[in-house]
Structure 1
């Protein structure tokens, strides 16, 4: 694709983008929630082609999410560069549901994007979505949503954007706290960033919630603490009035200027399955070209306020992703595509050296555990895709199972697992959790397919839009289908009984569970992920 950027630029679960430029290099940070290590940072030279360069929160002194509920953990990082350092601020959310939010905000720094990244400096816990603004006079300011736990008719618990100075020498916030922006009639004001241009302070916020009413709002003021006047054509960006747009839930944005002086906006979006409001790939990152008008306000270059699927950019060639990605686990380190859940102690979950050429998972707590779960997976980033793995596993009883999993959270997954039946035979089972409230609705379908002791088995899954089907093969035999068509749409923010959903996306990977506590290992020889041709997914 020449002279055009096709959205999204980061496919699959990559929400809440924050972008900065250093020279000719662009860096883009996105939320990772309960997946470890924390924060994804991608690099690009052209805004079209991006490569993962680091996940900076990668040790216990920086991040420990054991016990964090689903969709808690790392919310909305903000990445900036000043004074020869990269600055990353973020929330570690410890409680999501109910009137209260327990989220703690921190800052880490690094001289290079690859690190080493510092241990965190605690900032505050007054609300989430922190952002660090480096003013032209050298002072630094933290802004974040202030959470108001009270709830009654007419009250918005999103209590406005608060500002306080950060002193890097004292390594703490100092001075008065000012509530600088209460938001607009769209409400749910969050995801704030500050910029200074032509004598104005410009405030960019997300509003309307991260669902299908999501939007980007702008306001400006001559003074840092306000008052801020709202953009005359608010909202700047939204899909809320265009339900047929392939990019839905557009919001939560950040701005960057190119070396040539052009301005671009990166923003959150999702691509629901055709005819539904189900987004198994979660919230992704897209880009739009924007322009500053003669009146000093920012607007989309294509006019209006709806996101474009394609953005013109002369001289750029956007590379297509590889059709297939194969991992043979011959390295002593986990391939970059994979993450695990919550814990900073991955040696408790897996090893790439105990059996060279294999990923060995140690069976830990149950599927969906918030503490220690041996599940290693990668993002689904294509509407039509497949995954395969090769497993050697010798369970000793029904409490031990391992296999191939499509996982969203503790109440939304499909799992093709090797285990034992009551007769002591090694068999295949399909374990699905069909809803997330109130009881999980676990479905277990034992297929009666026996597997010989000490035998290697291949496990596969195929996703075609909303349909997921498992398959298997013993030894060198041909693939055989197993079980019924399953609902892949369930594995999405919207695919549940919950009114407000969650915030991540579908992961495909390998898992081992041993709820007896004996830590029985499962060895995975390889993992392959295949995407459908691009013409079939867009």
Structure 2
């Protein structure tokens, strides 16, 4: 038995889709407006997970320019047909409107960290698609969206058979289920002659849960389980909240486990807030005497510590699908070698700009992010401001614990208030904290923007941005003739920025509310998580550059 501690993938890893291939388990998670698109982690024991790659080229043209915050790639579903991995996902281009404006794509690969086929579009009834492989047939599950003024935006679960080669629909689309409570995130698994439909219920907040239904025929009719498989909606004291969006998988030893999302709230005077976003957890599952899945510990609340059986079996020549599918069980050896760099929350100065770095709406590009021009440093060329949906020069990493510290050394010479570079804590364009090296008028002079006349001073400017406006918290004069180290410490829901002056930390401004960088603050839909990183801005001609070294993010 292996003891795992939930969440197993910590910090902004929502909507986990779990599949087993031989002795390896793989999880794909949502990436929204962030790159790399569709991160994939892998594990042999379900307790220790490492980054294994991502779905390269998931977005046509490798660009999500213009998509809103929390748009982009929602809820990928990963599966295995015995020879290759499949992933299906939706690119959502409208958030908070009746029209999600989704494009649903399918891509395949023989190795999750290798080359993925160019995405091919399939029927886009709504978001949360999944593929179900059954005896050589391929079925596409989806949420149905009804955008009409009197329609239900979450209007049931639909199923369409598609040709495995052309991906063209075969026959009619079937309405599997409608329900008075919101249902989404459908997955199918076949066991003992039953088709089990796994449903995310109640939305992605504190009402989230997992509801089961089953049928003897894949097209229905489906009967609902009398109780939820998983939820925390009835008890706000459970440490893992928002539990839902699940997938069932049989282990190599014949046991069953379930991947699902959770969130770890901080308790604030304004209610619980989850700045780490939604994370990936694993539960042990048994089947009751009536053939319904149940949590092994009883009830429907997720456990923090879970013992799982991951016994391996001898490798057989034949292989088959393991999750979201039916057919012979797979004992295929995972195609990748063991030579995968483990996931880390730190990056060596000048290292490759891949994982754990993330970027907004497009991959890192040497045209604006270059780790080769100056050994040991990363050079960013300033582009749009931090609220841009198009071309913000930002490198960031996921914050994985409620206590964290980030620091970086920056060298730059801003000559105008339109140029800035520094350290950022970011949730989205309307929720960030930034400490930037920039230009300001001489002491006592108003903001008249006449920097081209010379003069002025170099300052550190601390800014707090929230949904309801922007506030300049503090301005500190600094000497930028030498590299300057900036930092921030996050503890007890507060973020205290600082810089190094004469070998010691000097505080900048007062502690700021870190919990506003969460799913739960403000009036708009939010689905990602807090990140720490570096950025550069040049609003005039994108010629200003800043060099960064020694970035460190420590979470505990």
The TM-score with structure 2 as length reference comes to 0.89
1:45 corresponding residue in structure 2: 44
2:215 corresponding residue in structure 1: 221
Structure 2 residue 458 is the aligned partner of structure 1 residue 441: no
1:337–1:378 Cα contact (<8 Å) kept: yes
1:121–1:172 Cα contact (<8 Å) kept: no
1:526 corresponding residue in structure 2: 550
Aligned pairs for 1:481-492 (under 5 A) are: 481-492=507-518
Change (3 A) 1:101 1:59: closer
Structure 2 residue 106 is the aligned partner of structure 1 residue 107: yes
Aligned-partner Cα distance in 1 for 2:58–2:79: 21
Aligned pairs for 1:127-142 (under 5 A) are: 127-135=126-134, 137-142=135-140
Aligned pairs for 1:274-285 (under 5 A) are: 274-275=267-268, 276-285=271-280
Question: C-alpha offsets along residues 206-233 of structure 1, whole Å, 9 cap, x if unaligned?
Answer: 010101100100000111111100012x
Aligned pairs for 1:48-447 (under 5 A) are: 48-58=47-57, 61=60, 63-135=62-134, 137-152=135-150, 156-183=152-179, 185=180, 187-232=181-226, 234-275=227-268, 276-313=271-308, 325-331=345-351, 333-344=352-363, 346-423=365-442, 424-434=456-466, 436=467, 440-447=468-475
Gaps of 5+ in 1: 317-321, 533-538
The secondary structure found in structure 1 opposite 2:366 is helix
Q: Answer with 351-360 or 501-510: which moved more.
A: 351-360
Change (3 A) 1:48 1:359: same
* Shift in Å, 1:235: 1.2
Task: Number of aligned residue pairs: give it.
Answer: 511
Aligned-partner Cα distance in 1 for 2:182–2:492: 31
1:536 corresponding residue in structure 2: none
Question: C-alpha offsets along residues 47-104 of structure 1, whole Å, 9 cap, x if unaligned?
Answer: 0000011121347646421111000011000000004010011111111112111111
Aligned-partner Cα distance in 2 for 1:513–1:123: 38
Question: C-alpha offsets along residues 95-137 of structure 1, whole Å, 9 cap, x if unaligned?
Answer: 11121111110000001121211100101222000000001x2
* Shift in Å, 1:182: 1.0
Aligned-partner Cα distance in 1 for 2:484–2:21: 48
Aligned-partner Cα distance in 2 for 1:461–1:103: 38
* Shift in Å, 1:188: 1.6
The secondary structure found in structure 1 opposite 2:515 is helix
Aligned-partner Cα distance in 2 for 1:375–1:166: 40
Change (3 A) 1:230 1:315: closer
Aligned-partner Cα distance in 2 for 1:491–1:237: 27
* Shift in Å, 1:197: 1.0
The secondary structure found in structure 1 opposite 2:266 is coil
Aligned-partner Cα distance in 2 for 1:177–1:42: 33
Aligned-partner Cα distance in 1 for 2:52–2:310: 24
The secondary structure found in structure 2 opposite 1:212 is coil
* Shift in Å, 1:335: 4.4
Change (3 A) 1:527 1:341: same
1:365–1:517 Cα contact (<8 Å) kept: no
Let me know the Cα RMSD of the aligned residues.
1.9
* Shift in Å, 1:314: 6.4
1:156–1:188 Cα contact (<8 Å) kept: no
Aligned-partner Cα distance in 2 for 1:477–1:345: 33
2:255–2:309 Cα contact (<8 Å) kept: no
Question: C-alpha offsets along residues 180-218 of structure 1, whole Å, 9 cap, x if unaligned?
Answer: 1113x4x22110101111111110010101011001000
* Shift in Å, 1:327: 2.6
